[in-house]
């Protein structure tokens, strides 16, 4: 009589212990998820938020594959993520889409998580993994005001992990939190951009440049790639303001900023330094390429037909000073090196102004192996300047010139 009761009692105790153990596991999971949710809400930038989703949630969910797709119609997220510190890491698994067409096709009219068997036809593009690596998936639509702004994807090698009959309450809450955090992060980034953008020209301002320059120097030191700085100043800009008015001067500033930006890559930095001065950072750019870019900018501005509000044509030119971060002896703080880099470009700009304007002058401290331009090219075309050019030319050029004079 006692044996059946004891067996039943033992079985009940085993079941109770199993339930308690499962409850403790679930409690621990919920505690971890709560911590991660708080981290998402407290993320200080879009980059930090994306990093949390792609790395921390992979560990929290204990799944093999986690990816994220964001709709980025105006390339806003692209610019933010490219320019953020640490943008070279933590973004594996992120896809930026120009439209929501693909996501609308994926979810149809549904706006709640989809769980089920992995389909190579429908899901391979979301994960880009080797065939057979994923058996089941959980797809979380990210929506705000009824519009799809992205999609969060979890992939598991366990076919039972995300069965289509599993509950989705937690995943629905997670998708709502992620969508809200993404919208909030983008709003914060927009506010930052307002404070770091020049209202007149639309390019970055000096405050942004002073923040960005040490970051770029840190990257150059870490990866040992070249970094160039250009200081640009519109020639005789005060005369334009005094002659044609400040409204025309503003138009010229906007036009010049646009021309400079058109010659740069997406990873380069342009900022209005103050007044009619601009400054540019060109990471991973060799010396001869920097000179070519500077000359293209100078030539494009000289060839552009600016027009005053009165209808008069305005000739605008620009002077450019160029410097390079030394490839050796980079000891010291990044801020100190940033100050030295800008000061060298500013000094070269002063020489460009002093030697006649509308020219590119490079810092005297050329990197090893760089070819200096003949000095006579930088002497202004003043009366008698040809004699100076001959004196500074190579010996062969000087002898040839003297022979021609003798024959004449």
Q: Which of 276, 277, 303, 397 is catalytic?
A: 276
Q: Rounded distance, CA 45 to CA 330, Å?
A: 30
Hey, what are 380's tokens?
A: 């202004």
Alpha-carbon gap, residue 82 to 90, rounded angstroms: 12
Cα dihedral sign, 86-92-93-96: positive
Q: Is 56 a catalytic residue?
A: no
Q: Kindly state the DSSP code that residue 273 receives in the 8-state scheme.
A: E
Following DSSP, what letter does each residue of 148-177 receive, concatenated?
A: EEEEEEEEES-TTTT-TTS--HHHHHHHHH
Whether the Cβ atoms of residue 218 and residue 336 lie closer than 8 Å to each other:
no
Q: What are phi and psi of 159, to 5 degrees?
A: -65, -20
CA–CA distance, 248 with 192 (Å, rounded to integer): 29
Question: What is the C-alpha separation between 333 and 338, in angstroms, rounded?
Answer: 9
Give, rounded to a whole angstrom, the gap between the first and last alpha carbons of the chain. Answer: 136
- Strand pairing partners for 28? none
- In contact, 306 and 247? CB cutoff 8 Å: no
- Produce one character per residue of 125-146: b if its CB has 16 or more CB atoms within 10 Å, e if not: ebbebeeeebbbbbbbbbbeee
Name 360's bridge partners. Answer: 320
Q: How far apart are CA 56 and CA 37, in angstroms?
A: 11
- Rounded Cα gap, residues 354 and 96, in angstroms: 48
Closest by CA position to 361, among listed 342, 376, 347, 371: 347
C-alpha separations of 348 from 89, 183, 278, 324 in Å: 35, 44, 14, 11
Return the residue matching tokens 């799944």. 63
How many helices and strands in the chain, by DSSP H and E? 14, 13
Residue numbers annotated as active site? 276
């Amino acid at each position: 009589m006692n044996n059946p009761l004891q067996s039943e009692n033992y079985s009940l105790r085993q079941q109770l212990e199993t339930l308690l153990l499962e409850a403790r596991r679930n409690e621990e999971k919920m505690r971890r998820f709560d911590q991660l949710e708080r981290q998402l809400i407290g993320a200080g930038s879009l980059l930090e938020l994306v990093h949390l989703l792609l790395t921390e949630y992979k560990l929290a969910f204990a799944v093999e594959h986690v990816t994220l797709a964001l709709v980025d119609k105006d390339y806003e997220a692209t610019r933010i993520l490219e320019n953020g510190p640490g943008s070279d890491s933590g973004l594996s698994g992120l896809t930026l889409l120009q439209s929501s067409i693909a996501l609308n096709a994926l979810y149809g009219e549904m706006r709640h998580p989809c769980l089920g068997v992995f389909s190579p036809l429908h899901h391979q593009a979301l994960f880009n993994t080797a065939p057979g690596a994923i058996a089941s998936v959980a797809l979380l639509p990210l929506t705000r005001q009824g519009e799809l702004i992205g999609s969060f994807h979890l992939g598991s090698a366990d076919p039972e992990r995300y069965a289509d009959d599993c509950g989705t309450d937690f995943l629905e809450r997670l998708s709502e939190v992620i969508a809200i955090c993404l919208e909030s992060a983008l709003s914060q980034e927009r506010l930052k951009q307002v404070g770091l953008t020049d209202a007149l020209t639309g390019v970055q301002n000096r405050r942004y440049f002073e923040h960005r320059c040490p970051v770029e120097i840190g990257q150059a030191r870490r990866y040992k790639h070249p970094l160039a700085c250009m200081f640009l100043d519109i020639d005789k800009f005060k005369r334009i303001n005094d002659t044609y008015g400040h409204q025309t001067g503003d138009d010229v500033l906007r036009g010049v900023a646009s021309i400079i930006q058109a010659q740069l890559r997406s990873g380069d930095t342009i900022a209005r330094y103050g007044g009619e001065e601009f400054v540019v950072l060109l990471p991973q750019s060799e010396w001869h390429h920097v000179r070519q870019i500077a000359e293209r900018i100078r030539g494009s501005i000289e060839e552009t037909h600016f027009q005053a509000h009165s209808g008069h044509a305005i000739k605008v030119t620009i002077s450019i000073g160029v410097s390079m971060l030394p490839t050796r002896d980079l000891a010291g703080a990044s801020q100190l090196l940033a100050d030295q880099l800008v000061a060298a470009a500013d000094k070269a700009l002063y020489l460009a102004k002093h030697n006649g304007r509308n020219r590119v002058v490079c810092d005297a401290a050329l990197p090893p192996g760089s070819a200096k331009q003949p000095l006579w090219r930088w002497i202004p075309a003043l009366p008698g300047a040809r004699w100076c050019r001959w004196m500074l030319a190579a010996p062969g050029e000087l002898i040839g010139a003297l022979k021609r004079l003798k024959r004449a």
